[in-house]
Amino acid sequence: KQEVTQIPAALSVPEGENLVLNCSFTDSAIYNLQWFRQDPGKGLTSLLLIQSSQREQTSGRLNASLDKSSGRSTLYIAASQPGDSATYLCAVKSNAGNNRKLIWGLGTSLAVNP
């Protein structure tokens, strides 16, 4: 059974720092992995989607990497800003059988302090 773990659960950094959020999954047979952002009182917004054949995806100051063999993904945020404060969720879609659902981590709550 696929399980997704995110470390750390919470992170507080000063503005301007580069930071890394981690996501690990137990079954490497994944179809893709996705990073989402959730702001308080708002829904989830997809940030980056990495297909199983890809190693990384970039969008602005965000870079997500995928290492299927080790069951890990990282989300790198460069030059963090207070506006980056949010909860970041990782979700994987398994490649096994008829399992079509996204399997979610608990998220990392990020606070970027001015």
Q: Which residues bind other proteins (CB under 8 A)?
A: 4, 32, 34, 41-46, 49, 89, 91, 93, 100-106
Burial of 66 (0-12, 13-18, 19+ CB in 10 A): buried
Cβ at position 77, least distance to other proteins in Å: 21
Q: Which is nearer to other proteins, 18 or 59 (CB)?
A: 59
CA dihedral 94, 47, 83, 40 (to 10 degrees): -50
Cβ at position 9, least distance to other proteins in Å: 10
Q: Which is nearer to other proteins, 91 or 110 (CB)?
A: 91
Q: Which is nearer to other proteins, 9 or 20 (CB)?
A: 9
Tokens of 9: 């659960």
Residue 35 to residue 73: CA distance in whole angstroms:
9
Cβ at position 114, least distance to other proteins in Å: 25
Cβ at position 36, least distance to other proteins in Å: 8
Contact 62, 76 (CB under 8 A): yes
| Kind and range of the H or E run holding 42 | none
Q: Which is nearer to other proteins, 33 or 77 (CB)?
A: 33
